[in-house]
Amino acid sequence: SQQGEEDPQALSIQEGENATMNCSYKTSINNLQWYRQNSGRGLVHLILIRSNEREKHSGRLRVTLDTSKKSSSLLITASRAADTASYFCATDMNSGYSTLTFGKGTMLLVSP
């Protein structure tokens, strides 16, 4: 069943601008992950944030998690044309070898 819902569905920005994507979910989670998918390719893991964390950084990526609102955001700073891709959040209700539930994704287009 669909757990995560990304917002917006699509986003078009200019190079150098920041891109913010949001994800909302319905049930309690152990951790939340963000993945990136280039067109016609598999997904690449970007960042994982645990339920007891509020913010995490990785390079130009900043992820926040608000468990009280059941939402997360992914911020890409100083975007580049190469950041053009679809971005998915995925919720993990249990640690260990449980499956992830993916949202519908946000398509990001960064124009030069």
Q: Which residues bind another protein (CB under 8 A)?
A: 2, 31, 33, 35, 40-45, 48, 50, 88, 90, 95-97, 99-100, 102-105, 107
CA-closest candidate to residue 34, choices 89, 83, 95: 89
CB 42 to another protein: min, Å = 4
Q: Closest distance between another protein and the C-beta of residue 43, in Å?
A: 4
| Nearer of residues 38 and 111 to another protein, judged by Cβ | 38
Distance, in Å, from the CA atom of 25 to the CA atom of 70, rounded to the nearest integer, reads 5
Taking the least distance from each CB to another protein, the nearer of 2 and 18 is 2
Q: How far is the CB of 107 from another protein (least distance, A)?
A: 7
**3-state SS of the chain: helix, strand, coil percent to 5?**
5, 55, 45
Amino acid at 98: S
